[in-house]
Structure 1
Amino acid sequence: NEFYHKDVTRFLKHQSMHQLFSKNTHSFVASFVEEIGVENYIFISKKQLESAVMKESAEVKELISSIFNAYSSINDFLERILKVIDLLKEEVTGLEKEYLFRFYTVFTQLKTLQKTYEYFTDLKTLSLFFKQLIASETLSFQGEPLRGLQLMGMLETRVLDFENIILTSTNEGVLPAGSQQNSFIPFDVKLAFGLPTYREKDAIFSYHFFRLIQRAKNIFILYNTEHDAFGSGEKSRFVTQLEMMRSDIVHKNIAPKVIPSKTALKEVSKNEATLARLKELAIKGISPSALTNYLHNPISFYKQKILKIKEYDEVEETVAFNTLGTVVHEALDELYTPFVGKFLSQAIVTEMQKGAKDLVTKHFKLQFKNGDLTTGKNRLIFEVANRFVANFLSKEVDLLKGDKNQLKIIATEENLAAEIKIEGIDFPIKLHGQVDRVDELNGVLRIIDYKTGMVSATNLRVPEFENLRDEKHLKAIQVLLYAYLFTKSKNYNFSKPLEAGIYSFKNLNSGFLGIDFAQARKAPDTRITAEKLDAFMVEIKKYILEIYTPTLDFIEPA
């Protein structure tokens, strides 16, 4: 009684169904498909479908019932399909009615076969016969015979005369078809018994070809000179014969001029609406991730922050990487929140380890709604999340062994904000962000960002601030912005040493990776000072000024 979400959405969004659904039902389809994505329904029950169409017309309910209700027999199934075709025929165009008629014919044939022989025991067998029958069906495209372009086969032109003729694909092997014969009787046997061979067939097509062109005024014969899968590139023997018989033939070699198209970089100018939206953003606040998104791709920033285009809620059959990150962040936040403002001990962290797996499971259930974590890739990702948290807590235990280190939790998942003024912008810009953790280790204050991806020390080396736009510095920009926001929102006076960095869960053996300001081949310099933050913010203000300068367009990076 459950159906795979892709099958359900494909059915509801099918163009034939749309024609049957009323305008009111279109909104039901949109809202129901959205609900499937938001709630992460991988399988949809019959009860959910019935609830979704409760307020719809009797026709829609009948359609949903015919498709999704369990069938008692193959005869019952075929009756339902014929009923669906009957429902659809009133809402379609003339050509689509022709399609439906062919389907109706095929399913009626299958129904007759089943009633007579009761051969179909399951849908697999029925599907096999359906595919064979449908492959032999043809559609007749009928046009106006007395005007317009007439598309015809060679045999359809018999006893008809035309003023203008365009003959296509006049290649050897196509016209005539050549020695290809769909026959079980060998060629020699046919000759011996006087049966017609491909030679007689070639003669018939030769007759039709020359008869067709005898009274025409304008004849255009097209053939392909290229060797490809459709032929040898040799012109038909009929064309060669014409060339020998007549002298008034005009030859033209036609080759399309393929001009390689240069894809221009996307460029968006800033109009009044864009500038108004940017002003709203200044009031609401620009986050470190939004700023790094701009530096990475201004068009992506424009789509997210100006156009407010949200990512489509797709059903997660396999846990997405960002979901894994959220689960790990939330689990660690819940583990450490009770100890904010307190010093940690080895015993406290050991106690945390006991409840870590339950918290990971809890947050997986919240983030990966209705998903299955017991099998396949999802089970592996679930175990990876547990391993990330367990390994991190083990590192904390090692850090606190023997009371040699003093670790105090200052904050977890804390929202920080600060306003800055930039010359050239006549209103303040708010910066805001959520720092994963702030702690104090042996008197050194640390601003910490958790990353479930791979980060190495080289990603956090910033010897100078002039080249921050380089993609390798984007993670460092985020962490330094968190440090700046912390110092401003807390009025920090730098009385204690300050560091900022990342814990990379794929590189936990490296421990805490701090921002390193040292030049190449110099001793590490991880201490953050007011002067360094001021120099850093000079560059950041330049980037923000770019965003708010009306004459500078948003341009896609090359």
Structure 2
Amino acid sequence: ESPLIQSGGSLACTILDHDKEVFGQTFGWKSQSTAGGEDASVPTKTPTIRVIRTASEIVQAKLLPRLIEELYPAGYTDNNGIETAILLPDERMLMPVLNSLVDTVERINVTMGYPLAQSSISLLADKWIKAQANMRTIHDVLHFRTEAAIDLLNSLLLSPLLTDKSRRLMKTLEGTKTFYISATELQCDSLTKHLFTPPADGSALLDTLFALLESIAQSIEENRPSNEEEDIAEQVANIELEQLYYYRNTVNRLKGLISEAAMTMSPQSAALLLQGLITGTAIPFEGEPLIGVQIMSMEETRALDFEHLIILSANEGKLPSRTHETTMIPYTLRRGYGLPVNEINEATQIYDFFRLLPRAKRVTMLYDARTDQSGGGEESRYIRQMRYLFDTPIEVQELHLIGSLPNSPHISVPKEGETLKKLYRFLETPQDEHASSDLKLPALSASSINTYAACPLRFYYEYVRGIREENAPEELMAANDFGTVVHRAMELIYQPCCSGGEVSTQMLSQWLDPANAIIARTVRQAYSEEYLHTKDVKGQLTGLNHLYCVMIEKYVRRILEHDKSIAPFRYIASEKRVRGSLALSNGHRVRLQGVIDRIDEFPGEVRRIVDYKSGGVSASLKSWDSLFSHINGKPGKDQPSAISQTLFYAFMMRTQMEKDGEKRNLPLCPTIYSFQSLYKDKDEYTGVICVPESGGGYSSLTDFDQIRDTFEEKLRRRLDQMFDPDIPFAGTDDTKVCSYCPFVTICGK
């Protein structure tokens, strides 16, 4: 045995005191004569050592093909590949390394085994155990975390087992906004009953997991490709079955131990024991050890020599490894009675490392130089020992990555073929007169026209192709959801007054009285319907749900306080749907639609078209040229989209009134209720839109008909451009728009 292993002392002292002669010969020191003469078995030539700093561990794996080409400039063959060993101190690098070498070498020999803890079946089991661990009891009913349930059901291994019921459940979960969902709601078929039934004890947890593994194995066998050409799918199925085999064996082993000990343990304890067994299990590979590149860990190189060494993850903390065995025997007793201690493990690692170097010709070591990673981007202590203790010449290289973004091609979609056909769906046709309901016919809204003004390409993706942003549950409430709840709360409050009911100051005072709790109950109902997607409002909302309701209640109360200051008035309608059309310059008519948040009127004065806005928007239009046109600036404040939308509603309302033959009794007054402005300017805020005058200055717009022709001209000009076949759908040049666009990954900006 080497005296290095026997010493068990500190690492640096061990090198200097016990192995200075051997390592000195390795790195060019003069050998000292002994009674038997010099040790002729140790070469005196120093190997070529190179250290490469990289930006990540994945870059190290991607660099391997180039390193293989440098080692074999005349061409690589599997016969001479046995002279090369790729050492992986970090076993997680195995799959990236194999994927990187697939096009460079034909035959490889993997001796380290694939960690079972990194297999797909292990990841699925961890998701299931995590979902069980995050359960909580709400009103004496067990609930699972919605995010964990979605993540579990989206697993690829469970995809063949999903039924129509479980797929509908997934769709429901992805649209809900609740953080937790009851176990009874999740149990819709046999699969979900297995997944979302809480185990009574540790044995039940293992039994359920074993049954789930059996179902997955059976589905893989049934869906195994029969076509001989599908070699890759066949190999994937074999790998998954092999992983299942080892995982089931581990579960059976733990079940046997628990049964043999006749003990009862909690599901959490069984999960921890299973995790410990899985961590120490590896799936062996079958290969030919006498041909091709060798991929192995450091401890598997004992008694083996290679001419070329490529060592990945040469970071401090990974080489040597910081993993230490934890036992119930204290360190002092282990050291006193000669039991294995951590120093011996470190001494073994350093012996394995320095023993490899004497007979190697070329050694390449790569490490992750990022400071935010494990080891702080620090190179291994072995590299520093070679450099400073043995004065070994080491070539240091640094792999630089180009930080500039690639030039994304400018995407431009011509209006032709199927694209033009889908765009023309918004145009009126002779068949419209025979349609049972015009509500089913495609029509453009104010938001869609503003979307086109901001970015025609986004309009193409969203309204022509019909691609919608994924509606995934989030921890925090989105701004559009917040506004939707406020809209619904205001609709519910004024519901008794619709169709011309009078709203008096006394009525509003009664609603605002905290003792009546009318606003609180209405907000909770709106929140449950629009955000939680449930009509069951029994019980108190807790946590974030309660805080959101308190915030929404403050906004609703402020709107009603403003209404009280201008009362009395008549309330006409809430969420009023209006439809109409506009003639283009070429004679075609475009179908238009909108939903007006609120319509009220002051008898004998004006009828207001009110639009609620949760953000801070301006009610002053800077210029008519900015209407339905995108202006570079901060979204929401610099854009006139809120004004153009409110004017659009007034235009639609006037058009529908003319279509229905309703007389023009009162002028239409477009009004914006900005929640933030209502708080900032409590006494002065009116919400009436201000428009520029021809002679300069601004004036309050209390009669929409005064600017109707100007508005119609601006709207027609934008729609002419939208339906012009010669103008393609192109992306915007304003990158600020791309920062909040859901299609930014498609166009690459």
Question: TM-score normalised to the size of structure 2?
Answer: 0.59
Secondary structure of the corresponding residue to residue 578 of structure 2: strand
Match of 1:58 in 2: none
> How has the CA–CA distance of structure 1 residues 220 and 73 changed in structure 2, closer, same or farther, with 3 Å as cutoff?
closer
Contact 1:223-1:235 at 8 Å conserved across structures? no
> Percent of pairs identical after alignment?
18
Match of 1:447 in 2: 608
Match of 1:56 in 2: none
1:555 has 2:731 as partner: yes
1:83 has 2:211 as partner: yes
1:274 has 2:419 as partner: yes
Given candidates 302, 310, 322, the residue that maps to 2:468 is 310
Match of 2:167 in 1: 30
CA–CA separation in structure 1 for the residues paired with 2:180 and 2:345? 58
CA–CA separation in structure 2 for the residues paired with 1:226 and 1:357? 56
CA–CA separation in structure 1 for the residues paired with 2:347 and 2:145? 55
Amino acid at match of 2:463: K
Secondary structure of the corresponding residue to residue 435 of structure 1: strand
Amino acid at match of 1:388: Y
Secondary structure of the corresponding residue to residue 447 of structure 1: strand
Given candidates 486, 503, 524, the residue that maps to 1:328 is 486
Matches of residues 29-68 of structure 1 in structure 2 within 5 Å?
29-38=166-175, 43-50=180-187, 52-53=188-189, 61=190, 64-68=192-196
> How has the CA–CA distance of structure 1 residues 299 and 497 changed in structure 2, closer, same or farther, with 3 Å as cutoff?
same
Kindly state the Cα deviation for residue 14 of structure 1 after the two structures are TM-superposed. Answer: 1.7
> How has the CA–CA distance of structure 1 residues 118 and 437 changed in structure 2, closer, same or farther, with 3 Å as cutoff?
same
CA–CA separation in structure 2 for the residues paired with 1:314 and 1:331? 24
Secondary structure of the corresponding residue to residue 292 of structure 1: helix
Contact 2:572-2:601 at 8 Å conserved across structures? yes
1:544 has 2:719 as partner: yes
Contact 2:669-2:703 at 8 Å conserved across structures? yes
> How has the CA–CA distance of structure 1 residues 207 and 241 changed in structure 2, closer, same or farther, with 3 Å as cutoff?
farther
Match of 2:131 in 1: none
Kindly state the Cα deviation for residue 513 of structure 1 after the two structures are TM-superposed. Answer: 0.8
Kindly state the Cα deviation for residue 114 of structure 1 after the two structures are TM-superposed. Answer: 2.6
Given candidates 355, 364, 384, the residue that maps to 2:551 is 384
Kindly state the Cα deviation for residue 210 of structure 1 after the two structures are TM-superposed. Answer: 3.1
> How has the CA–CA distance of structure 1 residues 90 and 236 changed in structure 2, closer, same or farther, with 3 Å as cutoff?
farther
Structure 1: unaligned runs, 5 residues or longer: 54-60, 401-405
Kindly state the Cα deviation for residue 11 of structure 1 after the two structures are TM-superposed. Answer: 2.6
Secondary structure of the corresponding residue to residue 369 of structure 1: coil
Match of 1:504 in 2: 674
Given candidates 709, 723, 735, the residue that maps to 1:534 is 709
Q: Identify the range of structure 1 (338-347 vs 71-80) with the bigger mean alpha-carbon deviation.
A: 338-347
Given candidates 167, 171, 176, the residue that maps to 2:310 is 167
Contact 1:503-1:511 at 8 Å conserved across structures? no
Kindly state the Cα deviation for residue 434 of structure 1 after the two structures are TM-superposed. Answer: 1.9
Secondary structure of the corresponding residue to residue 150 of structure 1: strand
CA–CA separation in structure 2 for the residues paired with 1:478 and 1:175? 60
CA–CA separation in structure 2 for the residues paired with 1:499 and 1:525? 9
Given candidates 493, 513, 532, the residue that maps to 2:687 is 513
Match of 1:126 in 2: 270
1:3 has 2:154 as partner: no
CA–CA separation in structure 1 for the residues paired with 2:564 and 2:315? 81
CA–CA separation in structure 2 for the residues paired with 1:35 and 1:196? 56
Match of 2:561 in 1: 394
CA–CA separation in structure 2 for the residues paired with 1:172 and 1:35? 46
Q: Identify the range of structure 1 (341-350 vs 29-38) with the bigger mean alpha-carbon deviation.
A: 341-350
> How has the CA–CA distance of structure 1 residues 322 and 255 changed in structure 2, closer, same or farther, with 3 Å as cutoff?
closer
Secondary structure of the corresponding residue to residue 430 of structure 1: strand
Secondary structure of the corresponding residue to residue 399 of structure 2: coil
Amino acid at match of 2:541: T
CA–CA separation in structure 2 for the residues paired with 1:378 and 1:547? 42
CA–CA separation in structure 2 for the residues paired with 1:159 and 1:513? 84
> How has the CA–CA distance of structure 1 residues 181 and 278 changed in structure 2, closer, same or farther, with 3 Å as cutoff?
closer
Match of 2:505 in 1: 346
> How has the CA–CA distance of structure 1 residues 358 and 179 changed in structure 2, closer, same or farther, with 3 Å as cutoff?
closer
Amino acid at match of 2:505: Q
Structure 2: unaligned runs, 5 residues or longer: 1-141, 221-236, 338-342, 429-441, 632-637, 736-749
Kindly state the Cα deviation for residue 480 of structure 1 after the two structures are TM-superposed. Answer: 1.2
CA–CA separation in structure 1 for the residues paired with 2:543 and 2:368? 53
Secondary structure of the corresponding residue to residue 299 of structure 1: helix
Higher relative contact order structure (alpha carbons within 8 Å, sequence separation ≥ 6): 2
1:152 has 2:326 as partner: no
Secondary structure of the corresponding residue to residue 626 of structure 2: coil
Contact 1:154-1:208 at 8 Å conserved across structures? no
Secondary structure of the corresponding residue to residue 295 of structure 2: coil
Deviations 1:107-141 (CA, angstroms, capped at 9, x unpaired): 34433443344566323333333333333333333
Match of 1:403 in 2: none
Kindly state the Cα deviation for residue 99 of structure 1 after the two structures are TM-superposed. Answer: 3.1
Given candidates 232, 242, 253, the residue that maps to 2:379 is 232
